[in-house]
Amino acid sequence: MTPDPDFAVEPIPAFNDNYLWLLVCGPDAAVVDPGDAGPVLQRLQSRNLRLRAILVTHHHGDHVGGVAALAHATGARVYGPRSESIPAREVALAGGERIDVLGAAFDVLAVPGHTLGHIAYHAPALRVLFSGDTLFAAGCGRLFEGTAAQMTASLAQLAALPADTRVYCAHEYTLSNLRFAMAVEPDNEALRRRQRACAAVRERGDPTVPSTIADELATNPFLRCDAPAVRRAAEARAGVALPTAEAVFAALREWKNVF
């Protein structure tokens, strides 16, 4: 739940491992990255909700596949990155804007790396972040279009948000990400605890997300590139000295790609 009792954020599972996030305030709703319209329409109809806004973080099909159908069926306003091709987009965003969603203020953050135009949505008062495929629970997105420098800067921007910010990422990748994190930092006790807790959550069939920025700072190797143990592991893997956080990140990302 968010700090405001009038708002709730609910997961709508889709495909194999996607979460389409539904933000609900009274009879109104907004949805983030609806790759499939069907389950969203079913949830709206079952709850008698009116879809007012569609927030898109980037152009990949599993995030935009249902946007046009939802916009047509509901009249919801579509927000998305300016530099990417987003179906039915009405409001083009580049980062730095503030938008109103169901009466809550959301800051739009430019977070390139996974794609060049990727954006995230942060509501300071609600203490929620919709991070798309930039920041995952215990991981980060692959660099399909951007550079290691861009992703390092994007993750640093998200890591600087308040520690109690709840991170709603778009995929259930947590256990796989934690296995990699344990290979990087096997002596991290916070990481061990998180791995045990998340395994139990998945045994029950529940989502492991949202996490918090505090969780990620303590256990996500991609946010811990300045930690001595993470740097040593990345250097051992790369076989060379890695003098900067960006170099450590790049080595970790290449390692995770084949893990």
Distance from the first to the final alpha carbon of the chain: 34
User: What are 231's two structure tokens?
Assistant: 């740097």
- Give the count of alpha carbons within 13 A of 170, CB side only: 29
Specify the residue for token string 């003098």: 243
In three-state secondary structure terms, 99 is strand
User: What are 14's two structure tokens?
Assistant: 């889709």
Scanning 82-165, the segments in alpha helix (DSSP H) are 148-159
Catalytic annotation on 63? yes
Specify the residue for token string 């709703």: 29
Catalytic annotation on 133? yes
Among residues 33, 36, 59, 114, the one annotated as catalytic is: 114
Report d(CA 104, CA 118) in Å as an integer.
Answer: 21
Q: Omega of the bond prior to 210 within 30 degrees of 0, cis?
A: yes
Report d(CA 106, CA 122) in Å as an integer.
Answer: 5
Catalytic annotation on 72? no
Among residues 33, 36, 59, 63, the one annotated as catalytic is: 63
Among residues 33, 36, 171, 215, the one annotated as catalytic is: 171
Among residues 33, 36, 59, 62, the one annotated as catalytic is: 62
CB 134 within 8 A of CB 154: yes
How does DSSP classify residue 159? H
How do beta strands 104-110 and 119-123 pair? antiparallel
In three-state secondary structure terms, 108 is strand
Catalytic annotation on 62? yes
User: What are 210's two structure tokens?
Assistant: 């949202």
Active site (catalytic) residues:
58, 60, 62-63, 114, 133, 171
